[in-house]
Structure 1
Amino acid sequence: MSKSRPLIHAAASAALLAAIGMPTAVWATPAVPPAAAVVQSTPAKTVTNEWAAYIERQYGVKLSGEVTRAQFAAALGSILGTASGLTEAPPSIPSLFPQGTADAGKLPVWEALSAAVKAAELKELAYTYTEEKVAAAWKKAGWTYTKNGVVPHQAAQELAAALDSGLVAPDALTGVTANAATTADLAYQLLGKVAEFHGQSQNALGYLSDDDIIGKLVQAWYESQIIRAEDLQKVVDEALKQNLITGYNLKDTRFDPHFAPERTITYGHSDIVHAIQLIGLLRSESIQARVQLEPKTSAFVYLKEWGEPVQTEDYRVVPIENGNHIAYAKEYDLSFEFASVEEKQRFEPLILRYAKRNQEDVTGLLKGSWWQPLYYSLTELEGYPVITNHVLKDGRFIAQTFTLSEQSQQVIGGLKKINPAVTISSYQFWVDQPFYQYLKGEYK
């Protein structure tokens, strides 16, 4: 929000803010795409299609028919080029292939598996395999290991490690010979698993229907803590001091869910009991969705007239020159990837009925319901207004603030004035009407 739109809620502490049904801060992080299934038992073809959708969306890789060595090498390069889980510099792409080259020729299945194992950093494990272990692993795919066969010994070990480690599903190799040409379906599966091994695939606690989903949610919340990103905060804290913005949030991109945006809604809040009850509500309505909790720290100006702030492990304040403070509050985003677009559209009516406060009496609402709940989509939803997010990034951390779109250039210009070297990305997305009204300065 720009300085022309001051925060309209005021309270003596974060506890009082929560008590009157208002967020301690209202800036949240749209999730960054990829794919997912939302059923417990997923057919192999569905999994393949989801990997294809994920790889195409995340890396711009499009494959069909038989895949060449050059195509597979380029795709692996795209994944490794952004991998954060590598223990050292990414290997050169030609070194992943037995011939030491990534030419445009035919890519046999065994070569694709060999390259994927190396890209996934499994080769040391592979080379511990005895011939007996290799033969046992190959049997999972219905293959028979033969010493001095088509597949060289090291590659045979790599294939065994791929099967045992889940890099490739045994049924993906059923009826396929080691020297057959690699199909797009198999390539997509291998590329997806390489990304997964580097932490670039879907991050999810589980499904709404899982018996242990609440336990996982609560554990994730208690394991999270206030996020600190000093270099980013120098810029956005100064923006707070100048009243250029009234708040921002910090997130760690390692927790990005990478869900399919057309089926995803992200919901922000600060009360974990509210999240528990929200999941219970969705379960009671038989809604199917994958769930991820993304830790978030919201920052805003704590005014001196609110009184002496009470600090806790999850709520910190830092004094600034004018006698006010900057407050940092631990919060979360819950991302839901629904089974279908139709399921996604069922979300808002439930929130407006059971998690949107319209009066002081909160009977019949979830605990901690806000006057202006915050939830949003990266793809268009009918009835949702469009606003703009401004993102500053440093390594795995991002700082960002939401504004009305007509205020975007003012915010970008102000941030650039604070630090001309800062890189700011911005994009529009769709937010719920109550939060949009909040940005416009309306209390209810």
Structure 2
Amino acid sequence: MSTIKASLSKSILAASLSLAVLFAAPGQQAHGEAVSQAQVSQLSVHSPQENYALFLKEKFQIEIGDSITKGDFIQAVAQALNIRPSENAPLPFTDLDAANPAYAASVALHEQGILTASEVHADRRLDVLQAAFIAVKAAGLKELAYTYPNDKVEAALSKLGLNPAAFDFSAAQEIAAAVDNGLIAPAYYGIFSGNPPATKAFTEELLGKVLALKGQYKHYLGEVNDPDIYGKLAQAYRTSDIIEAPALQQIVNNALENGLVTGYNLKDSRFDPNFIDSLSLTYGHSNIEHALQLVGLLRSEGLNAKVQLEPKTSAFIHLAEWGKPEESETNKLTQIANGNYIFSAKEYDLSLEFENAGDKERFQSVILQYAKKNSEDQTGLIVHSWWQPLYYSLTEIDDYEIIANNKIVDGHYYAQSFTLQEDSESIAEGFRNLSPDIEVINYTFWVDKPFYHYLTGEDFK
């Protein structure tokens, strides 16, 4: 682990210790095998359905086949929404036993009121109406649906070419709510009158929209190319505060005092973007003007991306010999026993999900040319560019270096510190010595070389 040199300026020190990582380690997430960059490049993701397909694969290891049964769909819904049956739940179905692969998921969805019939017909080919009936209840729209009067039902079903009289009224209400709330995309309106088997594309998009309506899809302010993204970004930063998490801070402040780590940061998982890892990067900084210009830079370079601002607070040791810094709305001081201070600064992570893997890879060349400081008098950079810009990926990417994160969690808050891989286990052990009951989450990820060089102490610039 590198040591902080007293000759560094305070601003460079704060920049270099801007240590943050995305919401969870790959090993923690519910999804299974990672998708390689090559696979993502082949997908060349652009359409909503392709985005949903990749999201389902990366987050949950759900892959929809060309021929999907009702049982397959039930299992996918339960897995995506993390719905499990209660212990000793009774079997409510007459055509399903515990040996069926769809058994547990069907019981779980029945307990949630998503399945209501006494028969599942798990082995039958899924049709579009069955999928819609399950999806509207899984998305949490059931109560809304049952408020629909006749005229609203008729208006919605007419878009699908369906006659409301062909359904029980509650079923017609459910289909109407699915139409009005976007579960059924206009591109599929024309197929419903024949009730064909659900295709792979239809099913993937329907599952993705269920997650979106439940608030379990991606969370972001907008996209680089949106005309209002600058205002949204500035407002998100302006309304964020220095994060306070006393239980975690006691542990990591002790780690700072004892020299176990040189810095740490605090984040709040409620701001996690839930992006597709193989298409995403996270970029850390402290100045919002830099973020606004970075968005403009990406726009000028033709790199569109979804944008989420994640508030964070970075902390490091400020030596007493440097003088006492002033506190403000963006920083806080805590004096420790030896007379030094723990300096906590308001910062942010800018999470970016690109449209394809090629754009993600090209991000680095743009940063190194326009946002990486190499000399004191350098011109042609966006405002407040750093000597060691910090950006990283949770999936492998060429010309990046592997480092480790050491993370502890308390509710929706977490504290973490970035280190070299070889130092990770000793830091984890140090955290456990400070707090024996704490769980330390360690994992590796890929970071830009300038920040890696800072950690190694090889190259300050």
With the shorter chain as reference, the TM-score category is 0.7 to 0.9
Distance in 2 (CA, whole Å) between partners of 1:166 and 1:234 is 47
The equivalent residue for 1:287 is 303
What's the TM-score, normalizing by structure 2? 0.83
The equivalent residue for 1:112 is 131
Deviation at 1:10?
A: 6.3
Deviation at 1:129?
A: 0.1
Deviation at 1:374?
A: 0.7
Please tell me the residue identity of whatever aligns with 1:17: K
Deviation at 1:157?
A: 0.9
Q: In structure 2, do the counterparts of structure 1 residues 427 and 187 end up closer, same or farther at CA, with 3 Å as the change threshold?
A: same
* 1:163 counterpart SS class: helix
Moved more, 207-216 or 404-413: 207-216
- Alpha-carbon contact 1:30-1:376 (below 8 Å) kept: no
Deviation track 1:109-147 (CA, whole Å, cap 9, x = no partner) reads 33322222222221111111011101111223x222322
Distance in 2 (CA, whole Å) between partners of 1:234 and 1:325 is 14
The equivalent residue for 2:350 is 334
Distance in 2 (CA, whole Å) between partners of 1:400 and 1:21 is 17
Segments of structure 1 that go 5 or more residues without pairing to the other structure are 36-42, 84-90
Q: How does 1:69-148 map to 2 (within 5 A)?
A: 69-81=70-82, 92-94=108-110, 95-99=113-117, 104-106=122-124, 107-140=126-159, 142-147=160-165
Please tell me the residue identity of whatever aligns with 2:114: L
Deviation track 1:241-289 (CA, whole Å, cap 9, x = no partner) reads 2211111112222322233333322211000011111122222222232
Q: How does 1:178-327 map to 2 (within 5 A)?
A: 179-327=195-343
Deviation track 1:76-122 (CA, whole Å, cap 9, x = no partner) reads 22233289xxxxxxx94123113156562434433322222222221
The equivalent residue for 1:17 is 10
Distance in 1 (CA, whole Å) between partners of 2:413 and 2:189 is 39
Distance in 2 (CA, whole Å) between partners of 1:390 and 1:64 is 38
- Which residue of 424, 428, 443 maps to 2:440? 424
Distance in 2 (CA, whole Å) between partners of 1:362 and 1:224 is 32
Segments of structure 2 that go 5 or more residues without pairing to the other structure are 36-43, 85-106
The equivalent residue for 1:171 is 187
Deviation track 1:186-223 (CA, whole Å, cap 9, x = no partner) reads 22222211211232212222222222221121111112
The equivalent residue for 1:29 is 21
- Which residue of 177, 192, 197 maps to 1:161? 177
Q: In structure 2, do the counterparts of structure 1 residues 103 and 238 end up closer, same or farther at CA, with 3 Å as the change threshold?
A: farther
Deviation at 1:44?
A: 12
The equivalent residue for 1:38 is none
Distance in 1 (CA, whole Å) between partners of 2:72 and 2:387 is 52
Please tell me the residue identity of whatever aligns with 2:70: R
Distance in 1 (CA, whole Å) between partners of 2:439 and 2:326 is 35
* 1:239 counterpart SS class: helix
What's the TM-score, normalizing by structure 1? 0.86
- Which residue of 357, 361, 366 maps to 1:350? 366
- Alpha-carbon contact 1:266-1:377 (below 8 Å) kept: yes
The equivalent residue for 2:41 is none
Is 1:405 the equivalent of 2:421? yes
Number of positions where the alignment pairs a residue of Structure 1 with one of Structure 2:
420
Please tell me the residue identity of whatever aligns with 1:337: E
RCO higher in 1 or 2 (8 Å CA, sep ≥ 6)? 1
Detail structure 1 runs of 4+ shifted over 6 Å in the superposition: none
Distance in 1 (CA, whole Å) between partners of 2:409 and 2:158 is 47
Q: In structure 2, do the counterparts of structure 1 residues 330 and 44 end up closer, same or farther at CA, with 3 Å as the change threshold?
A: closer
Distance in 1 (CA, whole Å) between partners of 2:317 and 2:115 is 55
Is 1:54 the equivalent of 2:94? no
- Which residue of 4, 14, 31 maps to 1:7? 4
Distance in 2 (CA, whole Å) between partners of 1:368 and 1:134 is 56
* 1:346 counterpart SS class: helix
The equivalent residue for 2:398 is 382
- Alpha-carbon contact 2:22-2:272 (below 8 Å) kept: no
Identity %: 43
* 2:81 counterpart SS class: helix
Please tell me the residue identity of whatever aligns with 2:238: Y
